[in-house]
């Protein structure tokens, strides 16, 4: 199936430069189509079959783009914001057109955030019917008792109501005890597949505890890499993309 795209648009999506800059680059003979120097920046190419190179580096066309970000505290999970730094601001070296965060992390929450322009994948990962697990590293004020652990796993009342006015308990989840942090605070790993407002914090409050620090460490098959520091990001590998799409 032929799929035609203007050369300047193709190069722009690879962050080669602005349309004006790209026009100058092509004029200077820096771009080739199937090994032949391009003469016009507005020529149409077949993104499925033509080989495009810039400064003799072969460029591949990607329909969708996928990045994993370790969101730091103080950054909002939004595309634009009038007051705060957004997660897209952290991807300043990328072509961010069309990119959106998959779900949201509170401004004071760190951790894994998928950013992509693949709307279908975002919908599948966030759909309550898909039951995609999200695991959080939760640092607590008080040690969690076995009784409170059982309550969390069964489902707790966090103040939400169903349409008929009855209590809308959280869905069953999984809680695992983890070693204390460097400050000696108790830590648990909490896996849920809902996405209610401030859900983790409200769940712990429902059993008389308080969340002091929160970090998401996984979403579905996607794991937060140990070497990805807060504020850092990288593209997903093809294997990671394939696993998410399964």
143-150 own/partner pairs: CB under 8 Å, 24+ apart: 143/186, 144/175, 144/177, 144/186, 144/188, 144/207, 144/209, 148/207, 148/208, 148/209, 149/175, 149/177, 149/188
Q: Under DSSP, is residue 178 helix (H, G, I), strand (E, B) or coil?
A: strand
What positions carry a catalytic annotation? 106
Give 145-204 pLDDT, tens digit per residue: 999 999 999 999 999 999 999 999 999 999 999 999 999 999 999 999 998 999 999 999
- The whole-number average pLDDT for the span 35-39 is 93
The whole-chain average pLDDT of the chain stands at: 92
Report pLDDT for 1. Answer: 44
The CATH class of 4-59 is alpha beta
Write down the domain spans for the chain: 4-59, 66-245
- The whole-number average pLDDT for the span 19-38 is 93
Give 194-235 pLDDT, tens digit per residue: 989 999 999 999 999 999 999 999 999 999 999 999 999 999
Give 67-114 pLDDT, tens digit per residue: 999 999 999 999 988 899 999 999 977 878 789 999 999 999 999 999
Q: Facing residues of 219 across strands? A: 134, 222
From residue 237, alpha-carbon distances to 23, 71, 242, 244 in Å are 32, 19, 9, 11
Q: Is domain 66-245 annotated with CATH 3.40.50.150?
A: no
What angle (nearest 5°) sits at the alpha carbon of residue 46, between those of residues 40 and 47? 105
Beta carbons within 8 Å of 240's beta carbon, 6+ residues apart: 66, 68, 221, 222
Question: String of b and e for 170-191 (b: at least 16 CB within 10 Å)?
Answer: beebebeeeeeeeeeebbbebe
Report pLDDT for 92. Answer: 79
Residue 167 vs residue 61, higher pLDDT:
167
Whole-angstrom Cα distance, residue 221 to residue 235? Answer: 15
């Amino acid at each position: 199936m032929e799929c035609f795209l203007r050369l300047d648009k193709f190069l722009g999506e690879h962050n080669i430069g602005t349309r004006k800059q790209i026009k100058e680059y092509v004029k200077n003979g820096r771009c080739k189509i199937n090994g032949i120097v391009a003469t016009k920046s507005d020529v149409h190419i077949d993104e499925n079959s033509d080989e495009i190179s810039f400064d003799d580096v072969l460029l591949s066309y990607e329909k969708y783009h996928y990045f994993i970000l370790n969101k730091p505290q103080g950054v909002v999970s939004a595309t634009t914001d009038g007051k705060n730094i957004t997660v897209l601001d952290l991807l300043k070296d990328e072509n961010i057109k069309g990119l959106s965060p998959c779900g949201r992390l509170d401004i004071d929450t760190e951790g894994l955030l998928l950013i992509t322009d693949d709307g279908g994948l975002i919908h599948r990962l966030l759909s309550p019917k898909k039951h995609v697990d999200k695991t959080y590293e939760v640092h607590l004020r008080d040690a969690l008792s076995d009784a409170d652990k059982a309550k969390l796993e069964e489902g707790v009342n966090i103040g939400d109501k169903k349409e008929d006015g009855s209590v809308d308990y959280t869905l069953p989840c999984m809680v695992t005890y983890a070693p204390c942090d460097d400050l000696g605070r108790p830590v648990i790993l909490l896996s849920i597949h809902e996405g209610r407002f401030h859900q983790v914090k409200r769940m712990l409050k429902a059993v008389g505890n308080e969340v002091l620090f929160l970090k998401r460490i996984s979403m579905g098959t996607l794991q937060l890499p140990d070497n990805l520091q807060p504020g850092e990001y990288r593209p997903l590998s093809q294997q990671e993309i394939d696993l998410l799409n399964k």
